[in-house]
A and B are shown apart, each in its own frame.
Chain A
């Protein structure tokens, strides 16, 4: 199956700082999503982005499908951004695979 690697595993920031989270995947995909898991376990959709670039407020994402990676940018981080960020990918022949996540802590 597809291997998904996220980096860094842990990230600690001061409020107001910017960050970049990375997701590498081992095979071609037709589906890539970024999620934020809140402390209660709910996975919140951030981006559906199998290719290209999207922006939503302070968050933006870029996927370079030909090089098999995706980046999630968080600007001017806030304490409410804390949590675990997951990348998930799927191909035509494989089921959805999640990375191990990046645990982000934003300190006031």
Chain B
């Protein structure tokens, strides 16, 4: 069974631009969560989706948004990029509505210049 895939793997953007990251969960998994990892703040929860519905959102500004499609694939968008948005963005998938074991993708490394 294929693992969680994320695209693109690397991205360089300029301040003020917007970016969309994509995540495809493990086949059959219906929950997708997103996390941001930075050297200063560590791993922080962004969003959690199940069946196209956002179930939970972390403490991030409204510039960070996401969605989940009917095939469980998910995207996250960051608008008006800031230097501090440079980070590794990780997506994780889990089987059901209740989050038990999560499996992570390889991440998208975003650099904002």
Give Cα A42 to B4, complex, Å.
11
Tier of interface size on chain A: 10 to 19
* A95 engages B48 (CB within 8 Å): yes
A-side contacts of B56, CB under 8 Å: 95
Q: Which of B42, B90, B109 contacts A100 (CB 8 A)?
A: B42
* B43 engages A86 (CB within 8 Å): yes
Dominant secondary structure of chain A at its interface with chain B: strand
* B101 engages A98 (CB within 8 Å): no
A-side contacts of B48, CB under 8 Å: 95
B39-52 interface code vs A (CB 8 A; 1 in, 0 out): 00011110010000
* B99 engages A31 (CB within 8 Å): yes
* A31 engages B107 (CB within 8 Å): no
* B101 engages A33 (CB within 8 Å): yes
* B104 engages A35 (CB within 8 Å): yes
Could you pull out 7 A-B pairs where Cβ atoms are within 8 angstroms?
Answer: A33-B102, A35-B104, A41-B90, A42-B104, A90-B99, A95-B45, A97-B45
B→A interface (CB under 8 Å): 33, 35, 37, 42-45, 48, 56, 58, 88, 90, 92, 99-107, 109
Beyond A95-B45, A96-B102, A98-B44, 12 additional pairs, beta carbon < 8 A: A31-B100, A35-B104, A41-B37, A41-B88, A42-B105, A42-B107, A45-B103, A88-B102, A90-B99, A96-B99, A97-B45, A100-B42
